[in-house]
Every structure is written in C-alpha cells, then in structure tokens.
Amino acid sequence: MKILLTGGTGYIGSHTAVELIKRGYEVEIIDNLFNSKITVLDGIEKITGVKPKFYHADLLDTEKLDEIFTSNNYDAVMHFAGLKAVGESVGKPLLYYYNNIGTTINLLEAMKKHGTKRIIFSSSATVYGDQDGVKLTEKNQTGIGITNPYGQTKYMIEQILKDNVVANPDFEVTILRYFNPVGAHASGFIGEDPNDIPNNLMPVIMKVSTGEIPILSVYGNDYNTPDGTGMRDYIHVVDLARGHVMAIEKMGPGVQIYNLGTGEATSVMEMIKAFEEAGGKTLPYKITARRPGDLAKIFADPTKAEVELKWKTELTVADAMRDTINYLNCLKKR
C-alpha cells in the first residue's frame, strides 16, 4: 500500500512515516519545508533503513500536485501539512485560511481527479472550542468558542471533508483529533524541531533547557485545578503515530472521527517536574498572567479509538520527557 504524507517532514508526519514504514507501507512525502528540515529524511532512514521519496513542493501549487499524482498511484493520503502557530494565526488570519484550507481543497481535487479515495486528516482538540474540564468525546459539540483562526481552519476543514463525502460517496475520510502531542522517537533521530518561534509548552521547555529561552513563563496558577496551573492531555508522538497506522487499517466508507489522546490530564507544574526528573536538572520558571483563550483542563475520552481502532496509548509523560532529552542530546551532537 502506497501512502502520500503531506507535511511528512514535520513533527507528527515524520514519526508517522516511521511507524508506517515499520509495518511495510510504502511512504512518499510532499512538504515545502516551511516548518521542517530536509535532514528529517535522514533521521527516518536511520531508524527504518528506508528513505522515503520526497517532493519539495507546495500544496498550493496545483500543477506540481497534478504532476505528482499523475506519476503515482496512491492508495491513501495522510494530510499533515498546515500552519499551526495559534498566536501567529491571530495576526495573519488570511495566511492561515489560505494555506490550511487552500492546501486541503487542492489535495481533494487532485485525489478526485486521480482516483485516490482515502484521506486521514490531522485535526485538533481545538475544534471542541471552550468546553472546559469535561472528558471530551467525539459526540461533544464542535465549532463553538474557537478563539483563533488556526482553530477555525481545523473546524472548517472537517466540514469541507464531510461535504466532499456527501458529493463523492466513494471517498473514505478519517478525521483524527489530536490532543497535545509531545516527545520524540526513542532513538533521538527525529523529534520536534520547529523553524518558527514556539508557543506550545513542550518546545518552550526544550528551549529553556538549552538556554535559548532564559525562563519558562507558567501562564497562570489560579485555575480550578489541583495545583492551579493548566492541565492538558499530553500524548506521546509515537503513540499518536501508531494511531494513524491503526486508522489506515480500519478505513471504510463515509467519515470516521476519533480523538487521539490518553484520557489523562497533566498540569504545567507536573510537566516541569517530569522534565526535571528525566533530565536531572532544574528548569527556571516564573508564574505569569494567564494566556488569553486558555482553558483550565482539556482532556480526551479516547474510548472510541480504543474500541474501534484497537489502539491504546502505551507511553507516558515520563517516556516523552526521556525521549525529548535524548533527542536534544542528539541535536547537540549534530
């Protein structure tokens, strides 16, 4: 089975490429390298022994996309490509709508024209909007209280995929709603290495540990949580990648939606402690004001994926911290 990974040199795409190759899938990647590096392909090769065929191209370039689909017969597409910096999306909404939605429409057009019917889309828990403190199931409402254009694009793309299936009933769509991906491959050869300035917790923790950012700002300790700091459902990126493999093996007609999370919530202070324990050194932090738009506690009910995909997370936050530190050490040696 041959699968095209859009955004496949990115953080989640690269880990998914590894898991797919390990299970015998043929993987090809298209990425414009806006937020990833070509050296990721070497990392994938070091782990799996296979260097995926790579197209350095933009999904907004319809001619190039047509060329790629003309010269290949893909059984499925995993659509990771997109811009994901929430803060930036508030300042550059048109860029986010144009890139995230435009790439998806171009891809669906190319798939239809060339007879590729299966697509797995990287959605996000952000589609659940401002529902705070409840274990989110796929049946919870979506689209209400989304506070930024990035989140809106995820919600809109879900809708586009659903509408497209109504018009093209032979399409098979799986929407995966990721909670908070963290960690790296245990080998240390691939991990999260964004080109942009990070605003998610884990990349910030990494940059504080290397001294690139002097101190971690903890955004508020007056939430209604046991230690007052925000709680999230942190899922190891390798578990998340395995979720894609299970999803591709279970695809069928229509639209399937799954939460990919652990079902557990961890606070910012617990994340700091876990990193310190794994690395054996302290992480400087200060308590600052809340970040606008943040909620106290967001976590998944992953039961549907567990039952239908026969998928369950196996790795812990401690594993993610160990693997992140391993990855940082590998980066240092390069």
**Which among ligand UD1, ligand NAD, none contacts residue 31 (Cβ within 5 to 8 A by kind)?**
ligand NAD
* Residue 85 beta carbon to ligand UD1: minimum distance, rounded to whole angstroms: 8
**Which among ligand UD1, ligand NAD, none contacts residue 149 (Cβ within 5 to 8 A by kind)?**
none
Query: What DSSP assignment string belongs to 14-78?
Result: HHHHHHHHHTT-EEEEEE--SSS-TTHHHHHHHHHS---EEEE--TT-HHHHHHHHHT---SEEE
Strands 172-178 and 76-79: unpaired
Indicate which single residue of 54, 74, 96, 178 sits in contact with ligand NAD (rule: CB under 6 A).
178
Burial class (CB in 10 A: 0-12, 13-18, 19+), 114: middle
**Which among ligand UD1, ligand NAD, none contacts residue 151 (Cβ within 5 to 8 A by kind)?**
ligand UD1
**What gap in Å lies between CA 161 and CA 62, rounded to an integer?**
19
Contact track, ligand NAD, 249-288, x by CB under 6 A: ----------------------------------------
Interacting span for ligand UD1 (CB under 6 A) from 23-31, 136-144, 213-221, 301-309: 213-221
Tally the residues of the chain: 334
Q: Is 293 in the site for ligand UD1 (CB under 6 A)?
A: yes
Kindly determine how many residues on this chain lie close enough to bind ligand UD1 according to the rule CB under 6 A. 21
Q: Is 104 in the site for ligand NAD (CB under 6 A)?
A: no
- Enumerate residues 6+ apart whose C-beta is below 8 A from 317: 182, 234, 266, 270, 271, 274
**Side-by-side strand order, sheet with 297-300:** 135-136, 297-300, 231-232, 266-267
Contact track, ligand NAD, 46-85, x by CB under 6 A: ------------xxx-------------------xxxxx-
Q: What is the distance between the terminal CA atoms of the chain, rounded to a whole angstrom?
A: 34
- Inter-residue contact 287 to 218 (CB < 8 Å): yes
- Enumerate residues 6+ apart whose C-beta is below 8 A from 66: 110, 113
* Residue 171 beta carbon to ligand NAD: minimum distance, rounded to whole angstroms: 19
The catalytically annotated residue of 150, 155, 178, 234 is 150
Handedness of CA 68, 12, 322, 24 (dihedral sign): negative
**Which among ligand NAD, ligand UD1, none contacts residue 33 (Cβ within 5 to 8 A by kind)?**
ligand NAD
Name the residue nearer to ligand UD1 (CB basis): 263 or 293.
293
Question: Which residues does residue 76 pair with via DSSP β-bridges, in sequence order?
Answer: 3, 118
Q: Is 151 in the site for ligand UD1 (CB under 6 A)?
A: yes
Indicate which single residue of 197, 291, 314, 318 sits in contact with ligand UD1 (rule: CB under 6 A).
291
**What gap in Å lies between CA 116 and CA 206, rounded to an integer?**
39
What residue number has its CB nearest to ligand UD1? Answer: 230
Indicate which single residue of 89, 104, 124, 262 sits in contact with ligand NAD (rule: CB under 6 A).
124
Q: Is 188 in the site for ligand NAD (CB under 6 A)?
A: no
Indicate which single residue of 3, 4, 5, 13 sits in contact with ligand NAD (rule: CB under 6 A).
13
Q: Is 7 in the site for ligand NAD (CB under 6 A)?
A: yes
Active site residue 150: yes
Residues of this chain that interact with ligand UD1 (CB under 6 A) are: 84, 86, 124, 126, 151, 180, 199-201, 204, 216-219, 230, 232, 268, 291, 293-294, 298
